[in-house]
Homo-oligomer: A and B are copies of this chain.
Amino acid sequence: MMFNPQIPPITIGMVLFPNLNQLEFTAPYEIFSHLPGAQIHRLAPTIDPIYSESGLPLIPDTPFEKAPHLDILFIPGGLGLSAKLEDAEFLGSLRKWGEEARYVTSIGDGALLLAAASLLKGYRATTDWSSLELLDLLGVEAVSQQIVVDRNRITASNITDGIPFALTIAYEMFGAEIVQEIKMRLDYNPAQLALNNSIATPSDAHARVKTDKQLLAKIRLKIIQQTIQQQAI
């Protein structure tokens, strides 16, 4: 979202650790970036590059010690998570942010880290199927379900749930219209969009997204026409 002084900022802390699953990080990142007032912090102990389990380097921008108050705390999962289960300093940071955050969230086995940081005690939460028993052992009411919302704890079970997971958070914070606008920008669920587009009076969000996309297409049309003309000369 472009900077707009009228929109109150929301700070989103997305935690990185070595051998995380990068898609559990990047899919919600994309949605979060469309939230009104979004200020995303890529948190890690230092700002050195962190490699995902599939070898993709991701660059933190905020060291743990400089983390601001967070509206949303998010943590992904991944193979490297095992080492963090024993990292008292890492878990302590999670606990501190999570106790003050408006929303405490995770994807996949990331929920194990929230639980190890004592952030899910007395809550229902989900994780991937192979971690459900461990989550239960950590004193959490583990549920086998795609996405679980229990008060301000929002957890998703699978790597591939990043988009619906983050849209659920968008819905909880901003309501249905924002979700609809983000879906349109991402062309998510095209069948449903086609249906909505056929409604006689489209909402402001629909009109905005359509105008933006058509404007972009117009600019590109000019470039393509010029290129075709040059090739014809």
Residues on A lying within 8 angstroms of B by beta carbon are: 21-23, 26-27, 29-30, 33-34, 40, 49, 54-59, 79, 81-82, 85-86, 108, 112, 116, 128-131, 133-134, 137-138, 146, 157-160, 163, 186-190, 213-214, 216-217, 219-221, 223-228
In contact, A224 and B134 (Cβ under 8 angstroms): yes
A134 surroundings in chain B (CB, below 8 A): 217, 220-221, 224
In contact, A227 and B85 (Cβ under 8 angstroms): yes
A203 CA / B34 CA spacing, docked (Å): 42
Among B79, B130, B137, B221, contact of A214 (Cβ-Cβ < 8 Å): B130
A108 surroundings in chain B (CB, below 8 A): 187
A56 surroundings in chain B (CB, below 8 A): 26, 29, 33, 58
Q: A27-B27, A129-B190 are in contact. List 15 more A-B contacts (CB 8 A).
A: A23-B186, A29-B54, A29-B56, A33-B56, A57-B59, A82-B219, A82-B223, A85-B227, A86-B227, A129-B187, A131-B220, A133-B217, A137-B228, A146-B190, A158-B187
In contact, A157 and B190 (Cβ under 8 angstroms): yes
Residue of B nearest to A133 (CB): B217
In contact, B85 and A130 (Cβ under 8 angstroms): no
In contact, A216 and B79 (Cβ under 8 angstroms): yes
In contact, B49 and A59 (Cβ under 8 angstroms): yes
A204 to chain B: closest CB distance in Å?
A: 18
In contact, A217 and B131 (Cβ under 8 angstroms): yes
Residue of B nearest to A29 (CB): B56
A173 CA / B188 CA spacing, docked (Å): 27
In contact, B30 and A54 (Cβ under 8 angstroms): yes
Residue of B nearest to A145 (CB): B190
A76 to chain B: closest CB distance in Å?
A: 12
